[in-house]
Amino acid sequence: MAGVLLTVLSLLLGLPGAAGAAATRHAPEPRHPGQDWAGSQIARHEGTAAGLPPAAPSPAASVEGVDVSSHNGSVAWSTLWNSGVRFAYVKATESTSYTNPSFAQQYNGSYNAGMIRGAYHFATPDTSGGAAQATYFVNHGGGWSRDGRTLPGALDMEYNPYGATCYGLSAAGLVNWMKDWFATYKARTGRDAVIYTSTNWWKQCTGNSTAFGAVNPLWIPRYGSSVGELPAGWGFHTVWQYTSSGPTVGDHNRFNGALDRLRALANG
């Protein structure tokens, strides 16, 4: 009887306990997904370009890109194209309930301007399983086609905007969640997805796992003069998000290779 009363009291007061622990595995749906984009939490936890050395000049074998989400609204794609931007990643989804209201203008607009484009999913591993979120992503803009100008989807793994940094999961739990996401995405599209993550978050939340480096291309944020240390498992990066305060839209990226290699990634 005492145990029952304690459980009820825990539920009423939000105290930890067996029921509370179970609830953390299925957190409430995102509260402000329009404010979450690739790097929003990196900037909050690791700093922005302010006070850091500027990024090194773009090497000859690189391609300029941007990433956008609903917080960018209607994007001036022709302005970006004229400035030399040749690819874009667009946020499509978050969890299994949110779709970017600006997705069509951003995803189709970048394509119509001549760019190679791709979609990404902002992960919230405490709200639903990896397979469910990958399925939602594919069904809401994250698919892939061999048209030569569509990049494989990307999974954005970064600091939790809503609570515990690592989403209340162990390192093994997070790694297994990502494995489910990637396996489901590949089963649906035939492609191995890109992963967006920072070295600091990766070390803290996955134990610096080496499970994905041989297969999933790395998109890494670091707002400084170089890409810096990579997470374990990767010998090189594919995309570097080098600033959160670039022209026209804040987040600018460099593909680590020439344009023909970017097209090769799009073609699979």
The pLDDT value recorded for residue 120 is: 98
Report the alpha-carbon distance of residue 143 to residue 256 in Å, rounded. Answer: 23
The pLDDT value recorded for residue 9 is: 38
Question: What is the pLDDT tens value at each position of the chain, 268 positions in all?
Answer: 444 444 433 334 333 333 333 334 455 555 676 555 565 566 555 655 444 455 666 677 899 999 999 999 999 999 999 999 999 999 999 999 999 999 999 999 999 999 999 999 999 999 999 999 999 999 999 999 999 999 999 999 999 999 999 999 999 999 999 999 999 999 999 999 999 999 999 999 999 999 999 999 999 999 888 999 999 999 999 999 999 999 999 999 999 999 999 999 999 8
Residue 208's Cβ-side half-sphere holds a number of Cα atoms within 13 Å equal to 8
Pick the CATH number of 32-267 from 1.10.8.640, 3.40.50.300, 3.20.20.80, 3.20.20.150: 3.20.20.80
Q: The whole model's pTM is what?
A: 0.84
In sequence order, the 6+-apart residues with CB closer than 8 A to the CB of 210 are 232, 233
DSSP string, 96-144: TTEE-TTHHHHHHHHHHTT-EEEEEEE--TTTS-HHHHHHHHIIIII--
For 182, phi then psi, to 5°, come to -65, -40
State the first-to-last Cα distance of the chain, in angstroms, to the nearest integer. 61
The pLDDT value recorded for residue 225 is: 85
Give me the count of residues in the chain: 268
Catalogue the active-site residues.
Answer: 67, 156, 158
In sequence order, the 6+-apart residues with CB closer than 8 A to the CB of 108 are none
Domain range summary for the chain, segments of one domain joined by +: 32-267
Exposure letters 100-123 (e unless 16+ CB within 10 A, then b): bebbebbbebbbebebbbbbbbbb
Burial of 12 (0-12, 13-18, 19+ CB in 10 A): exposed
